[in-house]
Amino acid sequence: MRTEQVRAALITNFNNVSYLTGFTGDDSYLFITQKDSILITDQRYTTQLEEECPALELQVRAPGVAMADAVADVVTASRERQVLVESNSLTIGVHASLAESMPLVELVRCTELVEALRIVKDADEVSAIRRAVQQAERAFQVVRAGLRGAQTERDVAFALEHQIRLFGGKGCSFPAIVAVGTRAALPHARPTTRCIGESAFVLIDWGACESRYMSDLTRMLVTTKIPAKFEKFYNTVLQAQKAGIAAIRPGVAMEDIDRAARTVIEQAGLGKRFGHGLGHGIGLDIHENPRLTANQKQLLAPGMVVTVEPGVYLPGWGGIRIEDDVLVTEDGHEVLTSLGKELSDTVVTIS
């Protein structure tokens, strides 16, 4: 706020409000000045807030009072004439309502005010991500052990969700991707009624949500003898992923991590088949900063948690992606995920 030379900010992104306060409800805004922090909420959350944030000052709006009017009351009482607002989380309609309710206040648009803080995780956040990784991995192991050829992509996606909940997770961190054979050429394939046994391999991309923090993993499974073409492409992607992970350490530019992995795929003649960035940050959002991709000059720092997920996609044949979650440490990195990913680990027996 000092950098922007503004004395007050209105935080409207729910995950940012949660990050700054510990409040796990929704439909609430946080107003911050140089001396006060006031959560603008409603009566549904008063008891929850007493438990989660007992020291936080509240402005509880009554039924029928619009959020914009409640915000105007708080801002007017503060006598602030400029307020930072999160332009990435405000719709045009909400921004117009706020402006109309506070005609004498300048709404100063900014981006990533709180997200810049969220890039580096503290010990509690890393612990939550570790638990989310463990829940996702345990769920995968159960589903893999019972995999049947007659199961559909949707069946497997639902089973992963169910197992994650049984192991204590809130649920999947995003709708699981289960893509059989040629459908694996779609990086964000939606599960269908195609059966696991209809092709030699399947791509599974999933994660768990634990205490609002996310994990994100991808593994390939082969349900027959390993096809020669699959083996060739898989080994290329695996070596690319290992190269990317090996390059992770504090002070290295994001683009250099991407380049380390991408070079391996390009040298194999598959550069045009790798059409997305190498990875992204995970935390309260499944996709957040930092971004491991080209033209990202930002340097890695201890406490960042990123995915490393190179892939190659060939329409009409399928695709291969391997993904792990990696913590940047003081002197290098730690791979938080532990599921096997060597070629031999992909083979699974189905009934």
Query: What is the CATH classification number for the domain harbouring 56?
Result: 3.40.350.10
User: Do 215 and 340 reside in the same domain of the chain?
Assistant: yes
Residue type present at position 228:
A
* Residue that is last in its domain, among 98, 118, 138: 118
Task: Tell whether 219 and 76 lie within a shared domain.
Answer: no
Is residue 1 included in any domain, yes or no? no
DSSP assigned state of 43: G
Please name the helix (run of DSSP H) or strand (run of DSSP E) that holds residue 59, with its range, or none: strand 57-61
Same domain, 32 and 167: no
Per-residue pLDDT band for 259 (boundaries 50, 70, 90) equals very high
> Domain of 340?
123-346
Q: Decide if 254 contacts 240 (C-beta within 8 A).
A: no
Residues 50 and 147 in one domain: no
**Region 93-120: what's the mean pLDDT?**
94
Residue where a domain stops, chosen among 64, 84, 118? 118
Task: Tell me how many domains the chain contains.
Answer: 2
Global confidence as pTM? 0.94
Q: What percent of the chain has pLDDT over 90?
A: 95
Rg (CA), the chain: 23
Bridge partners of 292, per DSSP, are 279
Is there a single domain that holds both residue 26 and residue 175? Answer: no
Asked whether residue 334 is domain-assigned, the answer is yes
Please count the other Cβ atoms lying within 10 Å of the Cβ belonging to residue 254.
26
Residue 28 banded pLDDT, cuts 50, 70, 90: very high
Residue 276 DSSP one-character state? S
Is residue 267 located within the same domain as residue 172? yes
> What is the pLDDT at residue 2?
81
Residue 320 CA to residue 204 CA, distance in Å, equals: 10
Confidence check: pLDDT of 4 > 80? no
Structural domain contains residue 43: yes
Q: Are 70 and 113 a contacting pair, CB within 8 Å?
A: no
Return the closest-CA partner of residue 230 out of 343, 330, 84, 322: 343
Query: Do 114 and 284 touch, CB atoms closer than 8 A?
Result: no
